[in-house]
């Protein structure tokens, strides 16, 4: 699924500096100029939204069955006990094929459905347990299929709303190895949320409001459209029929094979049988959309669908999708298995996009591009989102995680492949400039005690929703990038292809991927590698830089990567140079007042480094708490984590930081822009945990007056600007204004070079955006006027907030509003509000992250404020 926590730029006209990222640009800009009362109002609106959600969740949990006519449908807490007591479905019964007929009424906003499910029995049982949510079941039968005889019996249906499950109680035992058919008739309202089979509307240029129906099933909402085994491992084939008015068209995962006129006013579309897939990938749309189409080189029909008035904005996405699908077929060496790929722009859509197999769905702003009005940043966003969803057609759809605890196998790979694919298909976008920032974003969340392992146990829908976060997406992508750098790109690619081929149409766990990669040996220019009998690779590398590389070493990918996926956080590696010896030590990096060194955390860290004597990248695998690296000669400086390809940060003990700061001031281009950005990030992260003084970090920041590259400038601003924003919240005007003045002075030359137009490369425009955003925060009037204009449009709009607990949108609002609170009064206010809610809301991970972040801000300000004040007095 596309990232719901990131808000895309507008697809319409406007300046790129406010379009790059709504969550970071527009919101930060308007927050910087709004009076306190307006900020409080926004916080109150978010609190009210969560409060309403609380009521909705409470009502839904208390709701059993509607007071309508039903056929033997009773609650599981009645006279008959519900026959299953677990959140996960039993494995007694397995679905093989679904035959679905749906008839949405876009006038009454209801739909009727008929589901016929072929099942196989693995363990004798007298009940069939499956998922259903808000569906009014009117009749259910089970039919036994034996040779020429078919016995169909009506069955009683029990409901258990807390688990969103129903049980079909058979009057006869269902025997192992036998095939049965479950038939269920039902009706429901089109959902008013953005999940399930839901209603969407749009307004034509003439002002007419039109209605359409679309789906969003990931992670647990297919059960809102049809009764099903709504877990990823219950893969099956689907035959879908949709009834519609003649003025509409219907879309689903597969192409239409025939259309039947049921009546003068009703058409029934029959779609081809799907490949074997999980329920969350099923999709259908009934609308009046128009489309444009092209063929890929292998003959796959690509179509982009949108509301008729915006069809002229579909061409860019169409061309990008054709290029990207061709790329993936070639990269994975596995043909795309469906005859078509539709991309549909939905007017009301909560996530960035969704990878439904053969029918990917998007926000309009994630798919539509107007060459006359849209900014370059919109083009970047659209290309990346399409690349993400099409990568899922292999990672996620063809091969699917067994359960949501390994969601990162879907999302981390799709995020990683965005950058791999777009760097080849659209080199002008220079996506490599932005990958580093994603790793820094992930580390911000992963450094908190409330973080979670990439692979972490989840059970209920709210917990599953929370897995769609920076840890699954960004951290997942970053550790894959680290692994590719460790194995080398060719070996990594070969392992992925082997994994996809072996597990096509199946479900996998973490270890399945590692086993595939472990059975592919790394080959480099100066390396000899071979596959041992036990399946592990060994490597001979002739180098004097590391004792580890001078002996045959087993590359145990599984053991190594388990240290990155099965425990939260990441390591801090401390390097102390003593002559030719570099003493290394690793520990768990964690922020917070109670962040004493964690015991039991150990990573296999693939260290890379360059020195003042050699810019050739050297490697050292750190697998213990401490170790010693022996250099061939003494050096003036050493820089670890070359290019920031590794997911770890480094502390340079003794005079290590002083040597690197001198290097930056005297010859900053001696190391890459990514290395400079990583030094900026690392030095401030070390201040946060008390390893360095804020004075040392500010000393390093002085070099930024010489900097012009996008990543170091971005990172410098990302570290410095929040410091004065924390002071804003405490009314520390004197020091705050001094710090603002210092930052302006650092970037003054770059700011003066910026214009207010939309010219230049994407990187140049992104840089312009950050600099002008800072100017806006400094009350630069044209920026203030534009931010106020956006805020008033948002405030006066009639849009509503239909967000689910645990959704990325809720997480973004909670964290976005509170992440610069830094007083104990604000902490108490936030705690009091969330403690007043139901336990399910108060225990959301985003709430815990918000509280931890405020506590960290308080602690950071208590320790560093006076030091910043003194440093500014001495250096201004």
The DSSP code for 205 is T
State residue 358 phi and psi, 5-degree precision: 85, -10
Count the neighbouring beta carbons within 10 Å of the beta carbon of residue 100. 22
Cα dihedral: 865, 869, 871, 875 (round 10) = 150
How far apart CA 480 and CA 417 sit, in angstroms, is 10
Name 103's bridge partners. Answer: 112
Determine contact, residues 631/598, Cβ cutoff 8 Å. no
3-state secondary structure of 826: helix
Nearest CA to 795 among 25, 200, 26?
A: 26
Instruction: For residue 314, give both structure tokens.
Output: 């579909």
Query: C-alpha angle with apex 642: 633 to 600, nearest 5 degrees?
Result: 95
How far apart CA 112 and CA 389 sit, in angstroms, is 30
Active site residue 192: no
Cα dihedral: 495, 500, 501, 504 (round 10) = 160
Among candidate residues 389, 466, 474, 719, the one labeled active-site is: 389
State residue 732 phi and psi, 5-degree precision: -100, 65
How far apart CA 574 and CA 586 sit, in angstroms, is 6
DSSP code per residue over 207-234: S-EEEEEEEE-TTTTGGGTS-B--STT-
3-state secondary structure of 569: coil
State residue 105 phi and psi, 5-degree precision: -110, 110
How far apart CA 65 and CA 75 sit, in angstroms, is 7
Bridge-based pairing state of the strands 399-401 and 359-363 = unpaired
How far apart CA 263 and CA 760 sit, in angstroms, is 57
3-state secondary structure of 194: coil
- Residue whose token pair is 């049809």: 226
Instruction: For residue 124, give both structure tokens.
Output: 């004798």
- Contacts of residue 591, defined as CB under 8 A and 6 or more positions apart, other chains included, come to 447, 448, 449, 688, 689, 852, 856
Residues designated catalytic = 389
């Amino acid at each position: 699924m596309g990232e719901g926590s990131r808000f895309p730029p507008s697809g319409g006209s406007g300046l790129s500096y406010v379009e790059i990222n709504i969550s970071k640009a527009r919101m930060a800009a308007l927050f910087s100029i709004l009076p306190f009362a307006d900020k409080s109002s926004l916080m109150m609106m978010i609190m009210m939204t969560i409060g309403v959600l609380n009521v909705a969740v409470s009502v839904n949990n208390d709701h059993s069955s509607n007071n309508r006519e039903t056929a033997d449908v009773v609650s599981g807490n009645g006279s008959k006990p519900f026959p299953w007591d677990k959140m996960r479905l039993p494995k007694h019964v397995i679905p093989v094929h679904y035959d679905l007929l749906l008839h949405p009424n876009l006038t009454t906003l209801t739909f009727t459905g008929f589901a016929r499910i072929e099942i196989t029995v693995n363990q004798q049982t007298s009940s069939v347990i499956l998922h259903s949510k808000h569906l009014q079941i009117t009749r259910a039968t089970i039919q036994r299929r034996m040779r020429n005889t078919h016995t169909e019996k009506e069955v009683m249906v029990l409901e258990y709303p807390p688990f969103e499950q129903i049980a079909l109680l058979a009057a006869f035992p269902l025997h192992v190895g036998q095939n049965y058919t479950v038939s269920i008739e039902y009706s429901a309202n089109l959902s008013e949320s953005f999940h399930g089979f839901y209603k969407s509307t749009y307004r034509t240029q003439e002002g007419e409001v039109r209605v359409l129906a679309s789906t969003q099933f990931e992670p647990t909402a297919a059960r809102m459209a049809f009764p099903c085994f709504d877990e990823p491992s219950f893969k099956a084939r689907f035959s879908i029929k949709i009834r519609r008015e003649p003025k509409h068209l219907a879309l689903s995962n597969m192409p239409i094979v025939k259309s039947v006129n049921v009546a003068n006013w009703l058409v029934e579309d029959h779609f081809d049988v799907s490949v074997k897939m999980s329920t969350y990938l099923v999709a259908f749309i009934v609308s009046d959309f128009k489309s444009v189409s092209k063929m890929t080189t292998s003959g796959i029909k690509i179509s982009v669908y949108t509301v008729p008035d915006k069809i002229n904005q579909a061409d860019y996405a169409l061309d990008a999708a054709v290029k990207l699908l061709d790329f993936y077929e070639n990269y994975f060496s596995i043909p795309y298995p469906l005859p078509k790929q539709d991309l549909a722009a939905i007017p009301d859509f909560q996530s960035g996009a969704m990878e439904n197999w053969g029918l990917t769905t998007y926000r309009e702003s994630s798919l539509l591009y107007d060459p006359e009005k849209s900014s370059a940043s919109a083009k970047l966003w659209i290309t990346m989102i399409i690349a993400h969803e099409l990568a899922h057609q292999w990672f996620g759809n063809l091969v699917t995680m067994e359960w949501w605890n390994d969601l990162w196998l879907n999302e981390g790979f799709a995020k990683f492949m965005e950058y791999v694919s777009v760097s080849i298909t659209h080199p002008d976008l220079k996506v490599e400039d932005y990958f580093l920032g994603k790793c820094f974003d992930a580390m911000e969340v992963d450094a908190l005690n409330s973080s979670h392992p990439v692979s972490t146990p989840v059970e209920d829908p709210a917990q599953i929703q929370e897995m769609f976060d920076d840890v699954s997406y960004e951290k997942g992508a970053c550790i894959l990038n680290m692994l590719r750098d460790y194995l080398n790109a060719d070996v990594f690619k070969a392992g992925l292809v082997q994994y996809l081929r072996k597990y096509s149409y199946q479900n996998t766990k973490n270890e399945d991927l590692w086993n595939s990669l472990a059975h592919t040996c790394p080959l480099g220019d100066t390396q000899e590698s071979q596959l041992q009998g036990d399946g592990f690779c060994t490597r001979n590398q002739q180098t004097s830089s590391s004792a580890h590389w001078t002996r045959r070493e087993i590359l145990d990918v599984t053991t190594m990567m388990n240290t990155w996926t099965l425990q939260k956080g990441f390591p801090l590696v401390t390097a102390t140079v003593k002559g030719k010896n570099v003493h290394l030590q690793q520990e768990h990096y964690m922020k917070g007042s109670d962040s004493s060194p964690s015991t039991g955390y150990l990573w296999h860290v693939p260290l890379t480094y360059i020195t003042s004597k050699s810019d050739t990248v050297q490697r050292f695998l750190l697998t213990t708490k401490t170790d010693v690296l022996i250099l061939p000669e003494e050096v003036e400086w050493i820089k670890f984590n070359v290019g920031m390809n590794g997911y770890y940060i480094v502390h340079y003990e003794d005079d290590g930081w002083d040597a690197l700061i001198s290097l930056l001031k005297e010859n900053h281009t001696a190391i890459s822009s990514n290395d400079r950005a990583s030094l900026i990030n690392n030095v401030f992260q070390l201040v946060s945990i008390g390893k360095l003084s804020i004075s040392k970090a500010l000393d390093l920041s002085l070099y930024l007056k010489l900097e012009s590259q996008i990543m170091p400038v971005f990172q410098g601003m990302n570290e410095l600007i929040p410091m004065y924003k924390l002071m804003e919240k405490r009314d520390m005007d004197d020091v705050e204004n001094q710090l603002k003045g210092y930052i302006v002075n650092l970037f003054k030359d770059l700011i003066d070079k910026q214009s207010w137009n939309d010219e230049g490369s994407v990187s140049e425009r992104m840089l312009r955006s950050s600099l002008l955003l800072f100017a806006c925060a400094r009350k630069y009037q044209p920026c203030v006027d534009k931010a106020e204009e956006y805020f008033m449009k948002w405030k006066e709009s009639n849009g509503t907030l239909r967000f689910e607990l645990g959704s990325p949108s809720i997480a973004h609002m909670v964290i976005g509003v509170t992440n610069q609170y830094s007083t104990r009064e604000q902490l108490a206010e936030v705690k009091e509000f969330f403690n007043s809610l139901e336990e399910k809301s108060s225990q959301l991970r985003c709430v815990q992250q918000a509280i931890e972040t405020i506590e960290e801000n308080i602690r950071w300000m208590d320790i560093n404020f006076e030091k910043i004040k003194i440093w500014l007095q001495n250096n201004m």
